[in-house]
Structure 1
Amino acid sequence: MKIIRSRSFTAECPWGALDIANMRGITTRVHWTNQPYRWHINDGEEVFAVLDGRVEMRYRENGIEHSTILETGDVFHASVGTEHVAHPVGEARILVVESEGSV
């Protein structure tokens, strides 16, 4: 059993993670960041839940770039093939559920 106090988690570098669980190849991790990630496409689906802070999520559909602000409690689902990048607004803590080894 684990209890995770995500608001107190801070990594040594942006996008540092605290591993919570690996359920048959699906990982659940808490990330801390204050810097953007990079444009990427995951190997499978990804669920991205903002636990603390705000994140500007940019994503491309049919070659057109979109942007939305995710507030604390918001969830972003990247389906297979969705190119996206997260830009935190200040510090953010994010719960990410994805296939093990995904970028």
Structure 2
Amino acid sequence: MRIIRSKEFTATRAWGADDIANMGGVTTRLHWTDKPYQWHINDGEEVFAVLDGTVDMHYRVAGIEHVATLEVGDVFFASVGCEHVAHPRGEARILVVESEGSV
């Protein structure tokens, strides 16, 4: 049993993570960041939930870039093949559920 106070979590570097669980090869991680990630396509599906802060999620559909602003409580689902990158506005805490070892 464990309780995680997400608003208290920080990391020593952008996208540092607290590995919360690995359930049959699906990981749940709490990330802290104040910098953008990198454009990537995950090996599988990804669920990205903003717990604190605001994140501009950039994603491409048929080569055209789109941006969705995610606020606290918003969830972004990246299906297989979805190219995306998260750009926080200041500090953000994000819960990510994805296949183990995914980018």
User: Shorter-chain-normalised TM-score: which range?
Assistant: over 0.9
Q: Percent identity?
A: 76
**Cα deviation digits, residues 39-75 of structure 1 (max 9, x gap):** 0000000000000000000000111100010000000
CA distance in 2, matches of 1:18, 1:29: 6
Runs of 4+ in 1 over 4 A off after TM superposition: none
Please give the secondary structure, in 1, of the residue aligned with 2:93. strand
Which residue is 1:39 aligned to? 39
Gaps of 5+ in 1: none
Partner amino acid for 2:8? S
Gaps of 5+ in 2: none
Aligned residues: 103
TM-score normalised according to structure 2 size? 0.99
TM-score normalised according to structure 1 size? 0.99
**Cα deviation digits, residues 22-41 of structure 1 (max 9, x gap):** 00000000000000000000
Q: Report the alpha carbon displacement of residue 87 of structure 1 after superposing the two structures with TM.
A: 0.2
Q: CA RMSD in A?
A: 0.3
CA distance in 2, matches of 1:2, 1:40: 31
Which residue is 1:18 aligned to? 18
CA distance in 2, matches of 1:38, 1:53: 19
